[in-house]
Structure 1
Amino acid sequence: MTNYFRSAENRTRVKSRRTHAVCLFAPWRLPLGLVLALVGGGLAGAQPPAELPLSRVVVFNTGVAFFEHAGTVSGDQTVNLGFEPDEINDVLKSLVLLDLDGGKASTVTYDNREPLARTLASLSVDLSSNTTMADLLRQLRGQEVMVEEEFPRKGRIVGVEQRQTPIRDTSIERDFLLLRTNEGLMAIALDKVRTLRLLDEKLDADFQKALELLAGARSSQQKRVTLSFRGEGDRHVRAGYIREFPIWKTSYRLVLDEDNEPLLQGWAIVENTTTSDWRNVDLSLVSGRPITFLMQLYEPLYVQRPKVSPELFAGVAPRVYDQDLGEPLAETAPPAPARGRPGGMGGGGGAFGGGAAFAGRGYGRQAGVEKLSGTLGSTQQVMSEAGDVGELFRYHIDVPVSLASERSAMLPIVGEKVKCQRLAIYNPQVHAKHPLSGLRLTNSTELHLMQGPITVFDAGEFAGDARIADIPPAGERLVSYALDLETEIVTRPVQAKQRLLEAKLNGLALVLKHRLTRGLEYAIKNSHGKPRELLIEQPITPGWELSEPAAAEETTRDTRRFRVEVAPQETVVFHVKEQLVQEQAQSLTSISDRQISQFVEAPEVPAGVKEVLKELVSRREKLAETKATIKQATDRVAEITKEQERIRKNMEGLERTSALYTRYAQKLNEQETEIEKLRETIAELSEQANQQEKDLLSDLSAS
């Protein structure tokens, strides 16, 4: 307690520290009487509610903040806190109560929120849908009403019906109220009714309540959460919870001076979006990514259960049996403990000391408190072990903060000298002609610098704006804030080249390894009166390796940076070359003879591979010769067939005994003999070509 309530005089500056987890309730120990019991209930005869002012706020950059209220209570006393309906879920998920001086937290009660549709459906008048006058009256069948038309009529609603009413050349549908009065049944046009009043007071009250619920659903009203503490005498109590809250932000100012070290000034921006004023609140700002989520705990949830029909059996008359007097009377067996899932109220053994305690003795048993205290103790151990996953960084504002509701504040968190190195940063994707004026910022403070905007002042004048990412102590970041118009850069690409490195056979595929080279040439002109240090940024292409220069000055995830010194009024040409070694497999069937001739002449191709390629060319040539012979024979058959058609046409007008007819017949006979021989040759050559195609790649990789 002494460490927690330290005096403001000892708080001299903002402290930033690394921690494996933000301990929201440190440095005091969790007492045995801690209870988180979010159930209905109250304390009979309790004193008027005590005040529990806000004492501590821890703001995270994940959209939540931890709020802690601290104060004193006397005896059995309650504390009221107000929240917006949307904030109740976070409170129910995270609320922790501590009674530090021998008492114990009892219960937490809050205004329930039934789902609106279910609440409306439970009333006598259901307004859950967009109800018309006719729909409303159909719900009220049998109810007694007073209807004001031409004169008052009292009766019970029978129903509503639609009738066709003629109007000039057409007809319209009109709703009529069927009313049972003392005079009998009558139909009253609804468009003639001026007023209609419910005579049943309970029904009229439900109608009014439904309208109020609909109106309340559109307005934001704070819900009251009542914390109950039980004990004797005056005691210190605390209540803490997580709620949705704007992330805190940072902004920086960097003042550059030729004669002095640069000054870095950082401010944290915090908004009080709550409905309460902060008065002397202990404020901490935490960076990191603790997991947080929303869960619906405030709205009652119902589970649909299956409907099961009861089984019907024939009735059996009960029998009464006398006791055996030869045996002693059996003692009453103790009730079996209720069974259920751990963590539930009635049957589980985790939340309130087990099912038997709840069934017979109530739920506020000390055993349940002890079990819950042990659970919270183990939770603290888990949080301290979470540092193996990631670290959090905290800024503690040493001066108590007072901030009115719906107001914002800038709080100084950094004000120290830092190390800076001036340079220019060139990235052609940012600006093709000029680099950016910048500097290399070294975090020489002991603080963790959060990401945010940074405004640069140089020689007492505004120099530009920039942004920085998170910088740990001793970390470095590049900062660019203006366009350097006195340095001009021209970029020229170097013609890409490809060279064969290796060739090998892998089955029936020729695997070729090539080296591709490409480059960029940077012509840098420095028009400054001073030497200029330049960082050239070049994107990294996956697979491409740097060949010139041997190494980059810096390498990020997707960028290489090269450092170049340029003298005043000088021009420097800087070369960057990259290479890519890649393999590609090409099937032997798809390689052209022209490519093969190039590979045979290439010195990088091994002799064994060349022999295989030569053999492939030889087999292709033999196959081509066979196919050429087949084509010649086929063409000769076509030529003879065409000549035979001419001869037969000429023979049609000749006498069979003529010499010319005999000559034509002899000619046809000779041609038929030649065709038969040609067809035999074509068949033989076709079989030969088929076999050559089959043998084209056989045993080629092994030859």
Structure 2
Amino acid sequence: MALKRQLLPVLLFPLICTTALAAVNGPVKSVTLSSGGLSEIVRSANVGDNSEITINVPLDQVDDILKSLIIRDANGKVKNLSLAGPNPLEETFRTLPFSVDDLNSLPRLLNAVKGTGIRISGARELEGSILGVEYQTGANGAQNAVLSILTVKGDITTVPLDSSVSVEILDKTLNAKIADATLVAGKGAVDGSRTIKIELDGQGTRTVDISYVVSAPIWKTSYRMVTGENGTARLQAWAIFENASGEDWNDVSIVLSSGKPVTLKQALHRRYWKDRAELVVDTSAQNPAIASLGTSRRQKLAQEQDAAAGYAAPAPEMQMPQRPIEMAPAAQQTAIEEQEVTSNFSLPGQFDLKNGETISVPLLDKDVKVEMVSVYQVGRSGEHPTASVMLENDSGSSFPQGILTVYNGKSGYVGDAQIAGMPSGEKRAASFALDQKVSVGADTKPQRMITSIKVVDGIIHAKTLLREVTIFTVNGAADGDRTVLIEQEKRPGWTFRAENTADSTLTHDRVRIALKAGETRNVETVSEQTQAEEFALSDAAPQMITSWADAAEDPEVKTKLKELAEARMKQVDAQEALDRVQREYDQVAESQDRTRENLRAVPNGDLQSRYLAQMGEEEDRLGELRKERDAAQEIIGKFNEDVTRIIRTF
């Protein structure tokens, strides 16, 4: 192989790679796009006896193919599946004396294969072995590569590596390795796909299907609705999807699947190495003559022998840390099939779609039942409700979620709305505009009532009814009739009551109000919840005990609760009196401490006398407060006994 310095980089020629990675003998037959962001690709291939199928796929799809590929072959079985490893470039150069970067430079390549026989052609004709390449500074300051050669005559000479020099490597085996490595390096620069080979064991000519699931863009749905007369509207649904498979689709059947599947991925096209504990090689010598010596004596003798031989004591062996595993990172009607958890839309005909293109296809086109209403959402709406279309799905199949553009049959576009996924048989409102001609006001009054009282072992068990009564004042439009829906989310544990709640759903309570032009109506709704509460009577506030007494139905319990409320009130008042005395006592004691510190700091004189007098007054006051505190504690003790006695009588 003859190499010139200026021509060597051309060996790494750029490979032209298109995004269309067509199958060699397994063209795409059908595609099922999932709303979960995956696509099931089905390829079809005609095979014979013990055939091999090859398909080209983008590199980022290999993990998914290794995870999900299945073969449909009625008269054969799968022998194996094979493809290039995750990094062919690394595997190729791992056993070569030169690196991929060495191929970019003739001096570096020659330096990497020292000792190889070469022939120099050009201004000088030489043959010999490579000793190495060094750089010398020229007259103009440039760095010039100079090759050192051991000639066949045994002389050592140098040759400047310039454009006039041609180098031929005489080792044919090394020449072949350089050629192969150059090809691999060129492909590695545009390494974006893998060829998968599938070997089959089987007899006879037959058609085989290959299926696998790979990542794909989520397909979308857009709706158009044109409202008409007599409570009907024309609803049209369109699907928008892309071909991002890495190859063109020609005469491909398309199925769109809606649902929320669990989707997982794993880096299967990656090598993982198990960490292993290293076993240290035993290099110690066994001397039978000293085997019977004690441990300390053997160690001392071994050190003396090492010192005599000129050896230093070995340093303790360091255990290398484990390396972490690096993880990578409206034509024909669409056939709709309701599955257990999904809906499949089989688009009519076949499609031609180039890689990267987007297409929009009609899914359904039919008349549906609708009603124009104004929806007021409690807690979300302001003064005005939203104009909405109440859509009833009586199509027999689920509607995928998507955006809805609403047109009035007479005036044209009126707004956009959102359709959540609608199973067949459901009825939902899609809001598309603010109805400024209707206003709604709300006045909510919360109530709390104790419905039952029971005392057991000093614990009072009370049931409390929480009630929210809301009065809605609804002002209709001046120029036409309106149907207003008042809507609020259901709350767990609460019951809802109102007139005409027929439109309520599993998640929302609704009240329907029919208004004539200019009419104003008041509507009452009631929400209730019963709560069970438990309190220790000894800790209950007197006011709470009084409220329980008022709610109690048993006369005896009512009387005892009132007696307990009075005793607890005295107990609380006495505790407050004791707390006041204690607070004053703490303040006087703190003031006395400051006076004592000041007294220590001043000399004899009038100021010292004043501090002594002040300390006497503070000591007198502390004595009075001690008596008051003792008396208050006696009173509290008596009231505590009264409260305990009354509680025991329940």
> 1:85 — aligned with what?
59
Q: Alignment partner for residue 33 of structure 2, among 59, 64, 71?
A: 59
Paired letter, 2:432: Y
Match of residue 210 from structure 2: 239
Counterpart in the other structure of 1:439: 389
CA contact 1:524–1:572 (8 Å) conserved in 2:
yes
Residue 612 of structure 1 is matched in structure 2 by 564
Q: What residue is the counterpart of 2:439 in the other structure?
A: 488
Q: Residues of 1 paired with 2:452 and 2:208: CA distance?
A: 80
| Aligned AA (2:514) | E
State which of 459, 473, 495 in structure 1 corresponds to 2:409: 459
With 135-144 and 251-260 compared, the bigger mean Cα shift is at 135-144
Who is 2:233 aligned against? 262
Question: Shift of residue 121 of structure 1?
Answer: 4.9
Structure 1 residues 608 and 203 mapped into 2: Cα distance closer, same or farther (>3 Å)? farther
Please state if 1:227 is matched with 2:177: no
Matched, 1:701 2:647: yes
Relative distance call for 1:95 and 1:499 in structure 2 (3 A) is: closer
Change over 3 Å in CA distance of 1:196–1:587 after alignment to 2:
farther
**1:449 match: secondary structure:** coil
Verify the 8 A CA contact 1:90 1:243 in the aligned structure 2.
yes
Mapped pair 1:297 → 2:268: yes
How far apart in 2 are the matches of 1:272 and 1:630?
83
Deviation at residue 473 of structure 1 after TM alignment: 2.8
| C-alpha separation in 2, matches of 1:299 and 1:630 | 76
User: 1:28-67 counterparts in 2 under 5 A?
Assistant: 51-67=25-41
Look up the SS of the partner of 1:698 in the other structure.
Answer: helix
Unaligned 5+ runs, structure 2: 1-22, 135-142, 158-164, 287-338, 584-620
- Distance in 2 between residues matched to 1:565 and 1:395, nearest whole Å: 39
Q: Quote the residue 1:111 is aligned against.
A: 84
SS at match of 2:648: coil
Q: Partners in 2 of 1:86 and 1:680 — Cα distance?
A: 85
Which moved further from structure 2: 120-129 or 138-147?
138-147
Whole-angstrom CA distance in 2 between matches of 1:624 and 1:406? 81
Superimposed CA distance per residue, residues 577-605 of structure 1 (whole angstroms, 9 cap, x where no aligned partner): 33444455555565566x37954973547
- Aligned to 1:520, which of 470, 482, 499? 470
**Which stretch of structure 1 is more off in the superposition, 443-452 or 494-503?**
494-503
Which among 77, 96, 101 is matched to residue 70 of structure 2?
96
What is the CA–CA distance in structure 2 between the aligned matches of 1:618 and 1:609, rounded to whole Å?
Answer: 14
Q: Distance in 2 between matches of 1:630 and 1:399?
A: 93
Measured after TM superposition, the shift of residue 80 of structure 1 is: 2.5
Amino acid at match of 2:518: Q
Please report how far the alpha carbon of residue 533 of structure 1 lies from its aligned counterpart in structure 2 after TM superposition: 1.0
Report the residue type matching 1:484 in the other structure: D
Match of 1:332 in 2: none
Once residues 434 and 680 of structure 1 are traced to their aligned partners in structure 2, the CA distance between those partners, rounded to angstroms, is: 68
Taking a change above 3 Å as real, the CA distance of residues 258 and 682 of structure 1, as seen in their structure-2 partners, is closer
Letter of the 1:240 counterpart:
S
677-686 vs 455-464, which moves further: 677-686
Quote the residue 1:468 is aligned against: 419
Deviations 1:250-274 (A, max 9, x none): 2222222126842222222232223
Q: Say how many residue pairs are matched.
A: 534
Asked if 1:124 is matched to 2:85, the reply is no
Change in Cα spacing, 1:52 to 1:483, as seen in structure 2 (3 Å) is same
Matches within 5 A, 1:493-504: 493-504=443-454
1:569 shift after superposition: 1.7
Residue equivalent to 1:479: 430
Query: In 1, are the aligned partners of 2:567 and 2:643 still within 8 Å (CA)?
Result: no
The whole-number CA distance in structure 2 between the counterparts of 1:628 and 1:65 is: 78
Post-superposition shift, 1:481?
1.9
In 1, the alpha carbon distance for the partners of 2:27 and 2:629 equals 108
Report if the CA contact (8 A) 1:623-1:693 is conserved.
Answer: no
Kept in 2, the 8 Å contact 1:92–1:297? The answer is yes
The equivalent of 1:72 in structure 2 is 46
- Structure 2 CA distance, aligned partners of 1:615 and 1:181? 116
- Which of 221, 232, 238 aligns to 1:250? It is 221
- Counterpart of 1:532? 482
Query: Which residue type is aligned with residue 60 of structure 1?
Result: S
d(CA) in 1 for partners of 2:71, 2:634: 97
Summarize deviations over 1:58-81 as a string: whole Å, max 9, x none. Answer: 222222222222243344443321
TM-score (norm 2): 0.64
Closer, same or farther in 2 for the Cα pair 1:86/1:690, shift >3 Å? Answer: same
- Return the offset for 1:453: 1.6
Q: Conserved in 2, the CA contact under 8 Å of 1:532 and 1:568?
A: yes
Give 1:146 deviation, angstroms: 12
Q: How far did 1:443 drift?
A: 1.9
Contact 2:571/2:640 (8 A) holds in 1: no
**How far apart are the structure 2 equivalents of 1:246 and 1:680?**
83
The root-mean-square deviation of aligned C-alpha atoms, in Å, is 5.7
Query: SS where residue 565 of structure 2 aligns?
Result: helix
Task: Give yes or no for contact 1:115–1:300 (8 Å, CA) kept in 2.
Answer: no
In the superposition, the TM-score normalised over structure 1's length comes to 0.59
Indicate conservation of the 8 Å contact 1:456/1:465, yes or no: yes
Number of the residue aligned with 1:549: 498
What is the CA distance between 1:534 and its match in structure 2? Answer: 0.9
Cα distance in 1 for partners of 2:386, 2:574 equals 68
- Contact 2:115 2:129 (C-alpha < 8 Å) held by counterparts: no
- Unaligned residue ranges in structure 1 (runs of 5+): 1-48, 161-173, 187-194, 316-386, 632-674
Tell me how far apart the structure 2 counterparts of residues 279 and 563 of structure 1 sit (CA, whole Å): 53
Q: 2-side partners of 1:409 and 1:627: how far apart?
A: 81
Does residue 602 (structure 1) correspond to residue 573 (structure 2)? The answer is no
Quick one: structure 1 residues 398 and 437, their matched pair in 2 at CA, closer, same or farther if it must change by over 3 Å? same
**8 Å Cα contact 2:453/2:548 also seen in 1:** no
Aligned amino acid, residue 702 of structure 1 = R
Q: Distance in 1 between matches of 2:467 and 2:408?
A: 43
The one-character-per-residue Cα deviations of 1:382-437 (angstroms, maximum 9, x if unpaired) are xxxxx8xx433222223233333332322222122211122221226554132222
SS at the partner of 1:124? coil
Does 530-539 or 283-292 show the bigger shift? 283-292
> How far apart in 1 are the matches of 2:167 and 2:645?
104
Any idea what the Cα deviations from partners look like across 1:464-521, whole Å, max 9, x if unmatched?
Answer: 22221222333322222222232222x2323434444445546556565544443433
Name the CA distance, whole Å, in 2 between partners of 1:505 and 1:211: 92
- The whole-number CA distance in structure 2 between the counterparts of 1:596 and 1:615 is 13
Q: Is the 8 A contact 1:141 1:159 kept in 2?
A: no
Measured after TM superposition, the shift of residue 692 of structure 1 is 3.8
| Matching residue within 494, 511, 519 for 1:570 | 519
Hey, what does 2:344 align to over in structure 1?
394
Structure-2 change in CA distance of 1:222 and 1:421 (3 Å):
same
Question: What percentage of residue pairs aligned between the two structures are identical?
Answer: 20
Native 8 Å contact 1:450 1:469 kept in 2: yes
Query: 2:294 aligns to what?
Result: none
Q: In the aligned structure 2, how far is the partner of 1:623 from the partner of 1:251?
A: 71
AA partner of residue 451 (structure 1): Q
Cα distance, 1:92–1:145 mapped onto 2, change above 3 Å: same
Judge conservation of contact 1:145–1:157 (CA < 8 Å) in 2.
no
Partner deviation per Cα, 1:199-245 (whole Å, 9 max, x = no partner): 78878987897787677556353321233345555323222222222
Closer, same or farther: CA 229–506 of 1 in aligned 2, 3 Å? same
Letter aligned with residue 479 of structure 1 = A
Q: In the aligned structure 2, how far is the partner of 1:229 from the partner of 1:278?
A: 25
For residues 628 and 268 of structure 1, the distance between their equivalents in structure 2, rounded to whole angstroms, comes to 78
Is residue 449 from structure 1 mapped to residue 395 from structure 2 by the alignment? no
For 1:264 and 1:136, the matched residues in 2 are separated by 70
Q: Superposition pairs for residues 190-209 of structure 1, below 5 Å?
A: none
Q: Is the 8 A contact 1:526 1:569 kept in 2?
A: yes
Whether the 8 Å contact between 2:243 and 2:355 is mirrored in structure 1 is yes
Match of 1:425 in 2: 375
Distance, in Å, in 1 between the alignment partners of 2:385 and 2:220 is: 30
Q: 1:447 to 1:239 in 2, by over 3 A?
A: same
Query: Does the Cα contact within 8 Å between 1:145 and 1:196 map onto a contact in 2?
Result: no
